Amino acid sequence: MLFLCFSGKVREVATSILYHLENFGLKIWYDNQEYLFGENKNLKRIEAISSSNYAIIVFSKHFPSSIEAIEELEIIKNKYQDNELHVFPVFYCQDRKKIPSEYSWLNDLIYNYVDEGSGTLKACNQIVCKYYSDIVNIENIPELNFFIKKNDIPKVISKMIKTYYLVDSANLNTRITIIYSIFIFIDNIIELPNNIQRSIKYLFSNTQLNIPLNDREIQIAELILRIGLNMI
């Protein structure tokens, strides 16, 4: 699960991140969706962070004045220092070099900067890429070219993977079209997990198989394809 930490004064940014990641099929802890009337919200937040593998910190000029966000960040920091949590810092209209010194540890991490005009999709693509990369590594799923000679992979899929590797790496549209075509074929063979189905559909929705610049879409597509092929 991914825990979303932010100041309520930039809730529109948090909901934008929530929108993209949920459409990718990821499980997000977002306060307005999780609190029920009369519950102990402090206990709920602590439990949520404890059960999360990732935390997204939306750091804005309002963050240091948000008591709840600061409390959450302290717990997140402790888990991060114990190597129990991966942290994604997203600086919203905030120069990371000017944040208060007590939060300077966030500057040591790979971060993303967003503002009113940039949107949050690029940042979310990086989060999704890391999420699926971790699954592939934890489950020790082979590289894509391994499946070319795997006995139980249909020959048509093997040929499509071979073609994928023959296409110039700069030809992004053709490459993602081949991956999408393989998914259509796989979908007729096995029942893919909901998050994999949603991820490939959202990639298609966002790109329409037209990628002028690669903002991690190809990497995401390759990762989830490896997961899907490994299930055959």
pLDDT, one tens digit per residue, over 154-196 is: 999 999 999 999 999 999 999 999 999 999 999 999 999 999 9
Q: Could you give the CA distance from residue 177 to residue 19 in angstroms, rounded to a whole number?
A: 25
- Mean pLDDT over each residue of the chain, to the nearest integer: 93
Going 72 to 76 to 77 to 82, the CA torsion angle's sign is positive
- The distance of Cα 186 from the centroid of its chain, to the nearest Å, equals 23
pLDDT value of position 221? 97
Contact 57, 50 (CB under 8 A): no
pLDDT value of position 35? 58
pLDDT value of position 45? 85
pLDDT greater than 80 at residue 216? yes
Token pair for 132: 């699926």
Q: Could you give the CA distance from residue 58 to residue 191 in angstroms, rounded to a whole number?
A: 35
107-134 tens-digit pLDDT? 999 999 999 999 999 999 999 999 999 9
Token pair for 181: 């075509």
Predicted model pTM: 0.94
Looking at residues 84-88, what average pLDDT do you find?
97
Query: Which burial class, exposed, middle or buried, applies to 117 when counting CB atoms under 10 A from its CB (0-12, 13-18, 19+)?
Result: exposed
Looking at residues 68-90, what average pLDDT do you find?
96
Domains of the chain, residue spans: 2-119, 139-230
pLDDT value of position 214? 79
Looking at residues 73-94, what average pLDDT do you find?
97
Q: Could you give the CA distance from residue 206 to residue 202 in angstroms, rounded to a whole number?
A: 6
CATH classification (class only), 2-119: alpha beta
Tokens 């053709």 sit at which residue? 174
Distances (CA, A) of 69 to 33, 55, 90, 210: 17, 12, 14, 38
Nearest-5° Cα angle at 208, 173 to 185: 75
Burial 31-46 (b: 16+ CB within 10 A, else e): beeeeeeeeeeeeebe
Q: Could you give the CA distance from residue 201 to residue 140 in angstroms, rounded to a whole number?
A: 25
15-71 tens-digit pLDDT? 999 999 999 999 998 866 665 566 667 778 888 899 999 999 999 999 999 999 999
Token pair for 11: 């809730």
Looking at residues 145-162, what average pLDDT do you find?
94
pLDDT value of position 42? 75
pLDDT value of position 139? 97
